[in-house]
Chain A
Amino acid sequence: MTEKNAAGPELACAKCQQALVLGKVKASYLGNSFEVDLLRCPGCGFVYVPEALALGKMLQVEQALEDK
């Protein structure tokens, strides 16, 4: 939840110019799916993954799955 402030609702989709909204997103990797709440574009479905998440918990999960 550390990204709550950084990933504020003012972010907009570069393609659709629509404000990103929080929504449930299913992230899949190597056959495993995780339901997480992330900002996404209501128009095109683009999902915004904050850098800290991509290089943090998300990377750890990825490494863990690769280790299996």
Chain B
Amino acid sequence: MSDRLLAVTESVCPVCLRTVAAQRVATGDDVYLHKRCPEHGAFKTIVWRGLETYFQWGERGSRAAAPPVTETPVERGCPHDCGICPEHRQHSCCVLLEVTQRCNLRCPVCFASAEREDSDPDIAEIEAWLRLLQRHGSPVNIQLSGGEPTVRDDLPEIVARCRMLGFDFVQLNTNGLRLAKEAGYAKQLADAGLDCVFLQFDGVSDGVYRRIRGANLLAVKKTAIMRCADAGLGVVLVPTLVPGVNVGEIGNILAFALARVPAVRAVHFQPVSYFGRYPAAPADRDRITLPEVMRELERQTDGMVQASDFAPGSAENAYCSFSGKFFVGGNGRLHAAAAPGGGCGDSSSGCGCGLPAADDAAQRARRVVAGQWAAEAAEAASPDTPGIGIASFEAFLANHRHSFSISGMAFQDAWNLDLERLRECFIHVVSPDRRVIPFCAYNLTSASGEPLYRRPHHECALA
């Protein structure tokens, strides 16, 4: 099969992490990233299976925009100057705050867990991070992440602090254990101002959870969703897709989500990426690329969802994501809505917690709903009416179709890292030394597990 050069870019050597030239090359219908390190040789990794969508996604073009504030000078070149440097080409949109490195699960693939409580940043430090983000000017969504953020008893206070400092969309990335086990916890977080729960949700069978997370968690996930629904918290299900483990459950995950609308607002798929120690390069068969996720969605829903319903995300590099907006019909089936697009937050591609902007606004409105409604007298009172009547609301709701988002985001690791994509990354992390670092650079580790930015004991193999 003949190779065809599609584009030149840059990457890193997965062994020594030095920046190297790279090419996107089509072989048959597949796109590979080719690169060569003068010291450690040649590497080739699958990045996109499906030339038709590769070209479609490329048509969207770049939405590059210079960050309003940069704090680190360009010295060694991308990705070695993060913080953010002037060569970055996208604003922060969603910023992760890792409020702890501790966790209440022991995933076989993850190294986070056993640290002491006193390793957590205190509230004053988290406030310093928030003030740093305020100085960056443009408003950002906050995602509280970890570790498992809910191991901190002061999490509601952290949420409230975010809101107090003017961050008006706060989401929680969680495994759901505490939400499920502690009645009233979801409401506590909602009362503190939390908007949305980004719930790790890898499948609809316990076998999947045992493989990926080392425990039977399906019942926990169901309870967590129920508790969020009761507390009025929107939920986005976030499956990490691992070939040979849960790719066959994509359709069932979607069906599970649709049965729980409107509590569940979206499903956001994340193909597995390989952070941590890998003596041998992960095989291409251990990777699933975004077009395959779209095709599986079509196949596993018998065409209810079509691959053609999806488009690239909004402001990030086109090849980082796909997203589609749907309506849930009265029969529980999905119907494609208008094609996604527009600015940051309109997309479900990882910004805005997988929620379209309208839902974001709706969540905020929860706190002020009565004040937003204009009410006026229609006619004189009829004293013989037996009680308040809201039949018109009920009739409207019965006919209304809820909106629902399906999206996917491909994180990058040392093998498939494309610096053109990294420079347009809008999901950032505040590091312990108070720098703002693009997500995939922050989590990048060499094949031996040596991190580019993160300290070794914070390694995690799953995004």
Q: How far is the CA of A62 from the CA of B403 in the complex (A)?
A: 13
A36 adjacent to B362 (CB under 8 Å) = no
Residue from B262, B372, B387, B397 in contact with A29 in the complex, judged by beta carbons closer than 8 Å: B372
Task: State how many angstroms separate the Cβ of B202 from the closest Cβ of chain A.
Answer: 28
B349 to chain A, nearest CB (A): 18
Q: Which listed residue (A7, A23, A67) contacts B381, Cβ 8 A?
A: A23
Q: Report A-chain residues with C-beta under 8 Å of the C-beta of B397.
A: 57, 60-61, 64
User: In the complex, are the beta carbons of B359 and A63 less than 8 A apart?
Assistant: yes
B-side interface residues, number (CB < 8 Å): 38
Once A50-B388, A67-B362 are accepted as A-B contacts, the answer to whether A25 and B396 lie under 8 Å apart by CB is: no
Complex contacts, B370 vs chain A, CB 8 Å:
49, 54, 58
CA distance A22 to B378 in the complex (A): 12
- Name the interface size band of chain A: 35 or more
Which of A3, A57, A67 has a CB less than 8 Å from the CB of B393? A57
Whole-angstrom distance between the Cβ of B258 and the nearest chain A Cβ: 16
**Interface membership of A47, Cβ < 8 A:** yes
Nearest-CB distance from B156 to chain A (Å)? 19
Whether the pair B359, A22 counts as a contact (CB closer than 8 A) is: no
B375 touches A67 (CB 8 A): no
In this assembly, does B377 line the interface, its C-beta being within 8 Å of a C-beta of chain A? yes
Contacts of B369 in A (CB 8 A): 54-55, 58-59, 62
Query: Interface centre among A39, A49, A54, A67, by most B CB within 10 Å?
Result: A67
Whole-angstrom CA separation of A38 from B375 in the bound complex: 10
Cα distance A61–B335 when bound, in Å? 20
**Cβ of A4 under 8 Å from chain B:** yes
CA separation between A50 and B369, bound complex, in Å? Answer: 12
- Residues A27 and B388 in contact, CB atoms below 8 Å apart: no
Once the chains bind, are B388 and A35 in contact (CB under 8 Å)? no
Asked if A28 is at the interface of the complex by the 8 Å CB criterion, the answer is yes
Indicate if the CB atoms of B389 and A36 lie closer than 8 Å: yes
- Of A25, A27, A49, A64, most B-chain CB atoms within 10 Å: A64
**Is the CB–CB distance between B365 and A67 below 8 Å?**
no
User: Is B382 engaged at the interface, CB distance under 8 Å to the other chain?
Assistant: yes
Determine the distance from Cα of A58 to Cα of B389 in the docked complex, in whole angstroms: 12
- Residues of A contacting B376 with CB < 8 Å? 25-26, 28, 45
B232–A1 touching, CB < 8 Å: no
Given A25-B377, A29-B374: A34 and B389 within 8 A (CB)? no
Residue pairs across A and B with Cβ atoms less than 8 A apart, 30 shown, are A1-B388, A1-B390, A4-B388, A7-B388, A21-B381, A22-B382, A22-B385, A23-B378, A23-B385, A24-B381, A26-B376, A28-B373, A35-B378, A36-B389, A37-B390, A40-B381, A47-B377, A53-B388, A55-B232, A55-B366, A55-B369, A58-B370, A59-B362, A61-B400, A63-B262, A64-B396, A66-B359, A66-B365, A67-B358, A67-B403
* Other contacts beyond A29-B373, A55-B369: 18, CB < 8 A: A1-B387, A4-B386, A23-B380, A26-B376, A28-B374, A29-B374, A42-B381, A49-B373, A58-B370, A59-B365, A59-B366, A60-B397, A62-B362, A62-B373, A63-B358, A64-B397, A66-B362, A67-B402
- Give residues in A with beta carbon < 8 Å to B: 1, 3-4, 7, 21-29, 34-40, 42, 45, 47, 49-50, 53-55, 57-64, 66-67
